[in-house]
Structure 1
């Protein structure tokens, strides 16, 4: 094969473009998958923190109504403060520990659900959103007075 001035065989012209056309889509897809995985992991950790904040806040209130309101507010504020934008979210509060008699240990459990949007990544095979759930439990002070509703 005749060689050009730079020592490259003329028959190899254009092969770099073909290699790039094969490699770049796979590379871009890999980067997008890494971003999606990172988004899910960091969002999961932040949702865990929101559930812990909500459970802690609910456990210090004396009435069921106040505990539920405080848990919803704490979870929403925690998600907002951490920059999590949920497509939809819900907070479920189990305040059974507030009804145990004073002197006995009770717990409050909060479950936070958050739907994380992935549709902006435009990856084939990746769902447009993924719902993440986190549950946290906090102990109610056994000697704290409890109110009735």
Structure 2
């Protein structure tokens, strides 16, 4: 009889759910952390992209109000850097290219200045396997040169 009770108690202990919550947590927790890191990486890319678009627009507008190509180039670089800094974008590398062809158009004709801003956004601090260490985002914006404003040579 004693032996039957010990077998029944042992069988009951083997069928309990004690400890299964810990095992489920060990299996599910890494997956949840990975999804959270993917969401953070996606959010960083989307918000950085819109802020880089804004920096390109700022740089194009700043370049379009200058009279010479040289001053437009330097103004666009400064405006892009200031805009990225003001918005809190941390780029591991930044490139600004300016097309100032619209500044050489004769007065009375429509000209545009186009600026392209490239920013490499770091993602390596997320420590997520399979995610690249950085992502290069590019934004291009154009601004019309004032139609009747004097232009430099």
**TM-score for both structures, normalised by structure 1:** 0.93
Which position in structure 2 is the counterpart of 1:107?
112
Number of aligned positions between the proteins:
144
Shift of 1:11: 2.6
SS for the counterpart of 1:86 is coil
CA distance in 2, matches of 1:125, 1:32: 11
Q: CA RMSD in A?
A: 1.6
More helix by share: 2
- Superposition pairs for residues 81-100 of structure 1, below 5 Å? 81-100=86-105
Question: d(CA) in 2 for partners of 1:138 and 1:29?
Answer: 42
Does residue 75 (structure 1) correspond to residue 74 (structure 2)? The answer is no
Q: Counterparts in 2 of 1:57-76, with a 5 A limit? A: 57-76=62-81
Partner SS, residue 11 of structure 1: coil
| Structure 1 position 14 matched with structure 2 position 19 | yes
Computing the radius of gyration from Cα coordinates, the structure with the larger value is: 2
Pairing 1:28–2:28 present: no
Give the distance between the partners of 1:121 and 1:72, measured in 2 at CA.
Answer: 30
Aligned to 2:45: 40
Task: Measure, in 2, the Cα distance between the counterparts of 1:91 and 1:38.
Answer: 24
Answer yes or no: is 1:140 the counterpart of 2:145. Answer: yes
Deviations 1:12-53 (A, max 9, x none): 121111100111000000000000000000100100000000
Secondary structure of the corresponding residue to residue 148 of structure 2 = coil
Structure 1 counterpart of 2:3? none
